[in-house]
Amino acid sequence: MPSHDVMPNMELYQPVQVEDALAIADRLAERAWLVGGGQDTYGWLKDRAKSTDAMIDLSGIESLRGIRESGGGIEIGALTTLTEVASNATIQQRFSLLVDAAATVASPQIRNIGTLGGNISQDVRCWYYRRGLSCYRAGGNLCYADTPQGMNRDHSLFEASRCVAASPSDTAPALVALDATMVIRNSSGEREVSAEDYFVGPANDIENTTVLRPGDILTAVRIPATWANATFYFEKVADRNVWDFALVNIAAAFKLSGSNIEDARIVAGAVQATPRRLTAVENAIRGQAKGSGTAESVMELATDGARALAHNGFKIPLLQNLVKRAIA
């Protein structure tokens, strides 16, 4: 048995300039594994479930850290820790949805080290896959979770395609609700991708959770002013309050005129491989009063098209009730 306490041997690159990191990432391409805080990465490597022979540690690049005002909104460096995100005064004041989401991730220790970029780029948590089994996502031809004996209470309700793993990130639904964009650089330049397009499901790409490709570095997350100071709701339901992933989480932003909902973005996590925007619910509540009457009349729309697995049927009423609470 390999030791779980010792990292395997690999080349280690520790650039301090983003240009150097981009050049190394470009040169190493598929050989490289980028690391921010390592809270997803080190588990893979120590368990020997995945390996790399070259790691690019981004944590020494100061320009990728910090929170700045930008174009009326804010820009958060990808290497900013979740603790820094949750304790930043501007984010607390204008985009408290993201504070509430970041503050529920894992534990204080993990939030002190884990980065926002890593949190939204992390791999799925299906235990079969993380054990190193040769499932579809790992290049094999079986989904161990979607079998009659499969343990799948944490898995997807929607848009499964061979793989049924669910998105584990708490900040991802909040960033989709805030209409954020992800800034990605590689050796040929910079591109900006909307949060909704950043995450990819298994029907499009079964081996990756994001649009990032070898050579790409996520440098920042931009949140526009559009939803600043909206009325927000975030709730995460997990088996434990700390050190645990969401069974379902919900992030919602409402623009109100009096008590009427002018506009809303409602996004659920842990119900499919990407954050799920609940557009049927959003459309149904526009122009309606924000309150329990509206909430009860639309909550079932949240789960139209859901396909429960053997052990995750409880997520259907859970998601409906989180939507109800968000609107009520």
Ligand X SMILES: Cc1cc2nc3c(=O)[nH]c(=O)nc-3n(C[C@H](O)[C@H](O)[C@H](O)COP(=O)(O)OP(=O)(O)OC[C@H]3O[C@@H](n4cnc5c(N)ncnc54)[C@H](O)[C@@H]3O)c2cc1C
Binding site for ligand X (CB under 6 A): 33-41, 43, 58, 78, 82, 105-106, 110, 113-115, 117-119, 121-122, 168-170, 212, 217-218, 243-245
CA-based angle 196:199:201, to the nearest 5?
A: 115
Structure tokens at 279: 């557009």
Q: Name the closest residue to ligand X (Cβ).
A: 118
We find the least distance from the C-beta atom of residue 238 to ligand X, in angstroms, to be 7
Cβ at position 82, least distance to ligand X in Å: 6
Closer of 250 and 285 to ligand X (Cβ): 250
Closest separation in Å from C-beta 268 to ligand X: 14
Nearer to ligand X, 146 or 170 (CB): 170
- DSSP code, position 306: -
The answer to whether 208 and 83 have CB atoms below 8 angstroms apart is no
CA angle 133, 125, 276 (to 5 degrees): 125
Q: What b/e readout covers 64-75, taking b as 16+ CB neighbours within 10 angstroms?
A: bbebeeeeebbb
CB of 57 to ligand X, least distance (A): 9
Task: Please state, in angstroms and rounded to a whole number, the distance separating the CA atoms of residues 197 and 265.
Answer: 15
The one-character DSSP state at 317 is: H
- Rank residues 35 and 261 by Cβ distance to ligand X and give the closer one: 35
Strands 217-223 and 260-269: unpaired
Closest CB to ligand X among residues 246, 284:
246
Distance of closest approach, residue 276 Cβ to ligand X, in angstroms: 15
Nearer to ligand X, 157 or 212 (CB): 212
